[in-house]
């Protein structure tokens, strides 16, 4: 009996060991091929594809026919663009297609830095007959870029016929949310062929998905036929000669993301090395709430400090709460250097506590004079941000010089702000976390005039350094938001910004 039990356990162990050893390569499929299904650009070959697009939402329906052209080694790095015959059709939205192209290339830059997108341990044998073999696998639950994180909800089935991979089909196990849409049904099929170099290349790609968008039903269908490839040795391989056209003909209009930009300088060289660059120009609205404690050091009226015989600056201070609303315009001059200008309004509420001297106590028995103020300032400034990075780690230095003018009293104040930061970026989520410090150096005095014969200069002293923690998040390809909190011994602030890049 013990012998049979031992044999049974041995058989079970062998069976379990065998199931764990299923690999795509055991069936002639390269282990990295499922990654190509994530993006056609992953093949690393130049190609031309004809794409039929059908989409409906509510009562609206569009049908577009476009040619997709991919160049992996253009003078600007990877380049993806569309062509369409303007004599036959007008595409629904060039702006929307341009946006999709930009997002696709950004995704491709991120995919280059990742390992396997699918889970090799999920590969299993589904069915095997004399005619065909079917293998199943799944994509990683974590580690996928945010743009394609929905793929963790998909099951993949690879079909092999006569020893060669014919197609990989993807379908969803459950409904999921993506880009503000509820996807109830998702189907994708990618067909392959082997070239003379014994390399699997995509020949056809189709995708359909449907669901709801803000309670409206929608359906999208994409049918793509790869017309031709250009191999690494420059050889052109034509798959569908009947679909070949001269895309340089004048009747074809081009839709592409502008890559030949003046700024940033050296951007072309950086992009050719496989790095993605943000769009060169940007605007950002920022709100900052700050509480600050100031010490006074001197009181000068019309050039004389005689005022200090009554009021003692050493025992005087002020608590100031400010709300700053600013608009910043910036530009990347170099891939690692951004310059900007900023203008805005600052509303301040202050409680000034003015201490008196012994002589002053005769005039003011309570010994202290509390002056509440409400001030409105207009500010303008210039700044620059420089950054360096290694893999997902980075360090940056932000320097700003600003001048603010108090509208009620004509007071001028200058401020230097410096923020040395280190951080880590999460490319899958288009997010960065930041940790560092903020140096805020106010001018040593506040000067102004209440009338032609009353000029004042008040010496001030404030805490210069505070710690900073924050997060920066990209939203789509052109929007971004930032949230930062700084805390010092006598100063704390919270900053929120929302920006647009173009």
Confidence bin at 372 (pLDDT 50/70/90): confident
Average pLDDT, stretch 277-305? Answer: 88
pLDDT of residue 109: 62
Is it the case that residue 289 has pLDDT exceeding 90?
A: yes
pLDDT of residue 1: 46
322-331, 363-372, 461-470: least confident range: 363-372
Is it the case that residue 256 has pLDDT exceeding 90?
A: no
Q: How far is CA 350 from CA 57, 287, 318, 320, 372, in A?
A: 55, 19, 7, 4, 6
CA torsion through residues 178, 181, 184, 186, sign: negative
Per the model's pLDDT, the better-predicted residue between 49 and 40 turns out to be 49
pLDDT of residue 10: 42
Percent of the chain with pLDDT over 90: 43
Average pLDDT, stretch 481-485? Answer: 97
- Which two structure tokens, joined as six digits, stand for 502? 């173009």
Task: Tell me how far apart the alpha carbons of residues 399 and 30 are, in angstroms, rounded to a whole number.
Answer: 50
92-96, 129-133, 340-344: least confident range: 92-96
Confidence bin at 371 (pLDDT 50/70/90): confident
Residues 6+ apart with CB under 8 A from 379: 324, 326, 342, 343, 344, 345, 346, 402, 403, 404, 405
CA torsion through residues 96, 97, 98, 100, sign: positive
Is it the case that residue 105 has pLDDT exceeding 80?
A: no
Average pLDDT, stretch 403-414? Answer: 77
- The separation between CA 154 and the C-alpha centre of its own chain, rounded to angstroms, equals 25
The backbone torsions φ and ψ at residue 490, rounded to the nearest 5 degrees and listed phi first, read -125, 20
pLDDT of residue 318: 85
pTM assigned to the model: 0.66
Tokens 């690999």 found at:
23
> From the CB of residue 302, how many other CB atoms can be counted at a distance below 10 Å?
12
Is it the case that residue 455 has pLDDT exceeding 80?
A: no
Is it the case that residue 21 has pLDDT exceeding 70?
A: no
For the domain with range 281-501, which CATH number is right: 2.60.120, 3.30.530, 2.40.128, 1.10.10? Answer: 2.40.128
397-406, 413-422, 454-463: least confident range: 454-463
Task: Tell me how far apart the alpha carbons of residues 403 and 418 are, in angstroms, rounded to a whole number.
Answer: 15
pLDDT of residue 143: 64
Select the highest-mean-pLDDT range: 421-430, 436-445, 466-475. Answer: 466-475
Helix boundaries (H) for 204-262: none
Q: What is the pLDDT of residues 387-400, one digit of tens each?
A: 998 878 999 999 99
Confidence bin at 305 (pLDDT 50/70/90): confident
Average pLDDT, stretch 53-60? Answer: 89
Average pLDDT, stretch 179-206? Answer: 91
The closest alpha carbon to 179, from 209, 143, 224, 205, belongs to 209
Q: Where are the domains of the chain?
A: 23-260, 281-501
The closest alpha carbon to 395, from 421, 432, 371, belongs to 421
pLDDT of residue 450: 61
Q: What is the pLDDT of residues 488-500, one digit of tens each?
A: 988 999 999 999 9
Confidence bin at 113 (pLDDT 50/70/90): low
Confidence bin at 148 (pLDDT 50/70/90): confident
Is it the case that residue 13 has pLDDT exceeding 60?
A: no
pLDDT of residue 245: 92
Confidence bin at 276 (pLDDT 50/70/90): low
Confidence bin at 38 (pLDDT 50/70/90): confident
The closest alpha carbon to 253, from 51, 81, 99, 96, belongs to 81
pLDDT of residue 101: 74
* Mean pLDDT for all residues in the chain: 85
pLDDT of residue 472: 96
Is it the case that residue 194 has pLDDT exceeding 60?
A: yes
Is it the case that residue 445 has pLDDT exceeding 60?
A: yes
């Amino acid at each position: 009996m013990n012998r049979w039990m031992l044999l049974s356990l041995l058989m079970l162990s062998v069976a379990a060991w065998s199931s764990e050893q299923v690999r795509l390569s055991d069936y002639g499929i390269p282990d990295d091929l499922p990654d190509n299904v994530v993006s056609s650009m992953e093949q690393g070959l130049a190609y031309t594809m004809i794409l039929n697009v059908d989409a409906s939402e509510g009562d609206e329906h569009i049908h577009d026919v476009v040619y997709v052209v991919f160049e992996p080694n253009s003078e600007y790095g990877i380049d993806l663009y569309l062509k369409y015959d303007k004599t036959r059709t007008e595409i629904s939205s060039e702006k929307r297609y341009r946006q999709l192209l930009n997002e696709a290339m950004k995704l491709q830059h991120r995919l280059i830095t990742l390992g396997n997108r699918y889970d090799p341990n999920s590969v299993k044998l589904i069915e095997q007959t004399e005619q065909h073999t079917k293998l199943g696998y799944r994509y990683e639950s974590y580690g996928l870029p945010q743009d394609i994180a929905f793929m963790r909800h998909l099951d993949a089935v690879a079909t092999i016929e006569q020893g060669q991979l014919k197609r990989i089909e993807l379908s969803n196990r459950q409904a999921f949310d993506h880009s503000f849409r509820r996807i109830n049904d998702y189907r994708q099929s990618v067909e392959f062929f082997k070239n003379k170099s014994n390399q699997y290349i995509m020949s056809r790609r189709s995708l359909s998905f449907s669901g709801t968008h803000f309670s409206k039903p929608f359906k999208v269908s994409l049918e793509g036929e790869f017309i031709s490839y250009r191999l690494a040795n420059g050889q052109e391989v034509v798959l569908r000669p009947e679909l070949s056209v001269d895309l340089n003909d004048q009747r074809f209009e081009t839709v592409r993301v502008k890559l030949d930009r003046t700024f940033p300088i050296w951007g072309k060289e950086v992009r050719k090395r496989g790095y993605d660059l943000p769009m060169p120009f940007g605007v950002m609205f920022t709100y900052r709430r700050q509480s600050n404690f100031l010490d006074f050091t001197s009181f000068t009226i019309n050039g004389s400090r005689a005022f200090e015989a009554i009021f003692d600056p050493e025992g005087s201070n002020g608590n100031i709460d400010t709300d700053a609303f600013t608009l910043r315009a910036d530009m990347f001059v170099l891939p690692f250097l951004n310059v900007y200008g900023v203008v805005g309004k600052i509303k301040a509420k202050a409680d000034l506590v003015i201490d008196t001297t012994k002589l002053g106590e005769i005039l003011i028995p309570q010994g202290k004079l509390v002056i509440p103020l409400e001030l409105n300032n207009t500010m303008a400034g210039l700044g620059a941000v420089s950054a360096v990075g290694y893999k997902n780690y980075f360090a940056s230095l932000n320097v700003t010089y600003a001048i603010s003018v108090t509208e009620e009293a004509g007071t001028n104040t200058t401020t230097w702000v410096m923020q040395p930061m280190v951080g880590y970026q999460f490319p899958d989520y288009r997010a960065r976390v930041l940790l560092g410090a903020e140096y805020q150096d106010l001018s040593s005095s506040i000067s102004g005039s209440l009338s032609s014969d009353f000029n004042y200069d008040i010496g001030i002293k404030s805490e210069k350094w505070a710690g900073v923690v924050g997060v920066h998040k990209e939203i789509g390809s052109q929007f971004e938001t930032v949230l930062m909190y700084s805390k010092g011994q006598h100063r704390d602030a919270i900053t929120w910004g929302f920006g647009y890049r173009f």
